[in-house]
Structure 1
Amino acid sequence: MKHAFSLAALAALVSAGTITKRQAAGVTDVGILNYALTLEHLEDKFYREGLANYTQAEFIAAGFADPFYDNLKEISFDETTHVSFLSTALGAAAVEECTYSFPSTDPKSFVALASVLEGVGVSAYLGAAASIANKAYLTDAGSILTVESRHSSYIRAALDQSPFPQPFDDPLDFDEVYTLAAGFIVSCPSANTAKPMLPLKAFPSVALGTSGTIVSGQTITLETLGYVLQAADENTPIYAAFITVTGPIYSDAMAIEGGFTTVVPNGVNGQSYVVLTACKDRITDDTVAAGPAIVEVTNAYPSVFA
């Protein structure tokens, strides 16, 4: 009953044009719903495409024993349901599915990418929560967030990663998430430009250039392929800022050809995000220079047992 009422309330608010302006210019609750729908479209298409490309037998041969394949179908169903729910609530204001390119070539790479996408989804909903004004919207977004978190934990466990590697998940803001999602988007329907959306922008991309297991205290490479990043003042340092719920943890970034090296700090674990910045006071859209890059940190957890 709660779910049905909430859907009706959302639809009524959208159709009535009840759009609450947020503190940031151009950010509205309906725009945030379309932002969420954009992410759900991407995940929905990813699972539908993957389940069509790889068979149950191929997943088993890759080491993902039953009932993993059936559970993937359940996850796919959840994502399709999220799309349907948000699309129905938004009505004519809903954005349409885009065209995507996913770099998975076999069941193992598909599951690895699924883990990344689910982790980004959790961080996206968590980061958006503070900007949602309407309580009905916030409750529904929270309900989706908890399910995405279960997806993430299940898939991480299937990859022999900690299903819950730290006490707090890391929030990402709108542009940080869009930067990561944009790498999979080939094109979108022209009709989407007329829909109420957030004023999103993609930062220059940063890629992890270090392979293998990564732990705190280790030096890693962050690649800035195709461009050179430097502060306006050559004496101003660049920092690698690792995003956490309590605020960024900064590490000096040392310039090398094609990017930077930095040391992974203590206080991050699991799927982590790092941006490059010349500002050590705060991380906002105005101070992020590039990124985020995704870094899977594999420290022992719980840390009290390390």
Structure 2
Amino acid sequence: MTMKNNELETKSELQNESLFKGSLGRRSFLQYAGASAAGIALVAAGCKKDRGVENVMTGATLDFKNEIGVLNYAYALEQLEAAFYVKVASAPPSSFTTAQKAYFQDIQFHEIAHREFFKNVLSTAAIGSLEVDFSSIDFTSASGVLGAAMAFEDLGVAAYNGAGVRITTDAYLVAAGKIVSVEARHAAYIRDIISNGNFANLTELTALGADVAGGLDASLTPDKVLAANAAGKYIKTKINVINL
């Protein structure tokens, strides 16, 4: 039994490493996201008795008393981003160039993979699927789509940076670090389309309370990220935040 467990652990470690390293195609990465989370999912399942995170009729509860709440927080944000990019990729603005359409397709696959990664890691401890509201976004307008994409990506990076201090398990921290670096690449690309060389302009996040001094990227606490003037305005499902 011990030998079998060791074999499973070794296999899981190799899978998790392969997910974030190497040259995976976008579709392979998407297909691989579920299986590669198996090892970490065992840890999440082991915490479910004390997770304090549950699906409730009135919405979704994020309990930040432990790391499961942080993972669900990341899962909620990835659900939001994935939903946005799926909508854009299915019907991009007519003025998008061929290259822009291709890049938005790629970002869509990244965000879906991120969403499915957290869903599989959390297993039965995961919050339910969130209902989104993108009625304030004009998906026929290139400037409207790019502006929304910039807001989502900048906010996502700041959210990961702000939640990192709450993560104590190495495997979770490494995964979050590798995901946020991809989000930062998205943010830089989107900003460069809007205005070449604008990748370091974080004025909007500063207005939300982010500290960007000393050449560091923005960092926002969950309450600021989920506020009505940030991610909250796009999420119809009620988010209950406790033990923050």
2:124 to 84, 92, 102: 92
Unaligned runs of 5+ in 2: 1-13, 20-34, 53-62, 202-211
Equivalences for residues 13-92 of structure 1 within 5 A: 13-17=43-47, 26-55=64-93, 58-60=94-96, 65-92=97-124
Name the aligned partner's letter for residue 152 of structure 1: A
* Alpha carbons 1:6, 1:140 under 8 Å: kept: no
1:137 to 172, 185, 192: 172
- 1:110 corresponds to 2:145: yes
Bigger proportion of residues as strand: 1
* Alpha carbons 1:59, 1:69 under 8 Å: kept: no
Identify the residue that residue 236 of structure 2 maps to in structure 1: 186
Equivalences for residues 199-218 of structure 1 within 5 A: 199=242
TM-fit CA distance, 1:118: 0.2
1:171 to 214, 219, 227: 219
Higher-Rg member (1/2): 1
- CA–CA distance in structure 2, aligned partners of residues 26 and 85 of structure 1: 20
SS of the residue aligned with 1:157?
helix
Identify the residue that residue 6 of structure 2 maps to in structure 1: none
TM-fit CA distance, 1:15: 1.2
1:45-104 Cα distance to aligned partner (Å, 9 max, x none) = 01111222335xx033xxxx3311100110010000001111011111112222212222
User: Alignment RMSD, CA only?
Assistant: 2.5
- CA–CA distance in structure 2, aligned partners of residues 16 and 99 of structure 1: 28
Name the aligned partner's letter for residue 111 of structure 1: L
Q: Identify which of structures 1 and 2 has the higher relative contact order when contacts are C-alpha pairs closer than 8 Å and 6+ apart.
A: 2
TM-fit CA distance, 1:3: 4.5
* Alpha carbons 2:81, 2:111 under 8 Å: kept: yes
Bigger proportion of residues as helix: 2
Q: How much identity, in percent, do the aligned residues show?
A: 28
When residues 87 and 20 of structure 1 are mapped into structure 2, their CA distance, relative to the original with a 3 A threshold, is closer
Paired residues in the alignment total 185
Runs of 4+ in 1 over 4 A off after TM superposition: 3-6, 18-21
* Alpha carbons 2:51, 2:125 under 8 Å: kept: no
Name the aligned partner's letter for residue 121 of structure 1: G
Unaligned runs of 5+ in 1: 201-284, 286-306
